[in-house]
Amino acid sequence: MSDKAMMRALRGETLSPPPIWMMRQAGRYLPEYRAVRAKAGSFLDLCYNPDLAVEVTLQPIRRFGFDAAILFSDILVIPHALGRDLRFEEGRGPVMTPISAGDIAHLDGSHVHDHLAPVYETLRRLRKELPGETTLLGFCGAPWTLATYMIAGHGTPDQAPARLFAYREPDAFEALLACLADVSAQYLIRQIEAGAEAVQIFDSWSGVLDEACFERFCVRPVARMVEAVRSVYPDVPIIGFPKGANSMLEAYRQRTGVTALGLDWTVPMSQAAKLQQEGPVQGNLDPLRLVAGGKALDEGVDTVLRGLADGPLIFNLGHGVTPDTPIGHVEAMIARVRNRQG
């Protein structure tokens, strides 16, 4: 059993100070990342180059000493590995050819792990190079969130294309979710084999669904993934992060069986504390408080620390760090968490 702070919190221990890391902690707010990104070519080239992916994963660990390092990659490597085209456009993000109902039946998973071999190599190297106290996290996107990009071909504000597709083509949509769940579960299993000590499932667009669709599109596919991973690695912690789920968070935890629950910044502290009674929680500082700094940052950090001090907590943002975040504000946040000021 690991004595790393992150792993202890995931086992349900209450630690003071709590372990801390940030989603998207390797990214454009760091000048050293921008330098590597400039010489990488495309964003996907960076994801698939173990030398560069290891370097950018390690950068925030060297600079800030976070308690966890998360694999540098992207959730959309799974549809890419399934044969879908993918590119990242400056100012727009990921762009794909929208998938049709007919395309879904012909998705080819036979070469997924060959395609993702550089990701597994990155994890193997990271496990050797990380400091002994730093937990190595793997991750993937949840089937619903992956499906939204595959159907629309790009990000949208309310995922209307995917929701309409699910209503109009329910059988094809269920087949897509099943395919993505099975491939993603095997992806996580391979990540663990390569050295990941815990994994996180990102469901970035779960908050746009009604209750029935949330159960069918978010809960059931993730439960299927958790069951598959646990059949091979029963003791590896799994963090579920269904952004925007709010009133459905308790049902998500109970029905998926995730070890820990990631919370976005809109989750009230009273609700977060109640959820914490059932197991570890992670979050949930508003990323814009980190951009603002000063009193707004201090108050946000203190609210999380006070509200969740009596149970297992992993301090994190309620979503990813943004490119305009000042490095000094990150340093101030870490100091306030670790020094328990206020």
Encode pLDDT of 52-71 as tens digits.
Answer: 999 999 999 999 999 999 99
* Strand pairing class (87-89; 93-95): antiparallel
Region 24-31: mean pLDDT is 96
Instruction: Enter the tokens of residue 264.
Output: 């976005």
Q: What is the pLDDT of residue 341?
A: 43
Q: What is the pLDDT of residue 70?
A: 98
Q: What is the pTM of this model?
A: 0.97
Q: Where are the alpha helices (DSSP H) in 105-245?
A: 112-115, 117-129, 143-152, 160-168, 170-194, 211-213, 220-232
Active-site residue (options: 8, 37, 125, 336): 37
Residues in CB range of 147: below 8 A, 6 or more apart: 162, 173, 176, 177, 180, 217
Active-site residue (options: 28, 124, 127, 255): 28
Q: Considering the chain, what percentage of its residues have pLDDT values greater than 90? A: 96
- Is 28 known to be catalytic? yes
* Strand pairing class (93-95; 135-141): unpaired
Residues in CB range of 149: below 8 A, 6 or more apart: 76, 79, 94, 96, 155
Amino acid occupying residue 147? A
pLDDT category at 1 given cuts 50, 70, 90 is low
- Starting at the edge strand found earlier in the chain, the sheet holding 313-317 runs 68-70, 135-141, 198-203, 238-242, 260-262, 281-285, 313-317
Span between the terminal Cα atoms of the chain, in Å: 33
- Is 338 known to be catalytic? no
Residue 13 has pLDDT above 80, yes or no: yes
Tens-place pLDDT, residues 224-238: 999 999 999 999 999
Q: Where do the structural domains in the chain lie, given as residue ranges?
A: 23-277
Region 155-160: mean pLDDT is 93
pLDDT category at 121 given cuts 50, 70, 90 is very high
Residue 342 has pLDDT above 70, yes or no: no
Instruction: Enter the tokens of residue 203.
Output: 């469901």
- Is 24 known to be catalytic? yes
Active-site residue (options: 67, 74, 203, 264): 74
Contact at 8 Å (CB) between 156 and 171? no
* Strand pairing class (260-262; 87-89): unpaired
Least confident piece of the model among 116-120, 314-318, 337-341: 337-341
Region 93-120: mean pLDDT is 96
Q: What is the pLDDT of residue 92?
A: 84
The residue written with tokens 């769940």 in the block is: 181
Least confident piece of the model among 181-190, 211-220, 267-276, 333-342: 333-342
pLDDT category at 44 given cuts 50, 70, 90 is very high
Mean pLDDT of the chain: 96
Q: Is it true that domain 23-277 has CATH number 3.20.20.210?
A: yes
- Is 149 known to be catalytic? yes
- Is 190 known to be catalytic? no
Active-site residue (options: 24, 125, 253, 336): 24
Q: Considering the chain, what percentage of its residues have pLDDT values greater than 70? A: 99
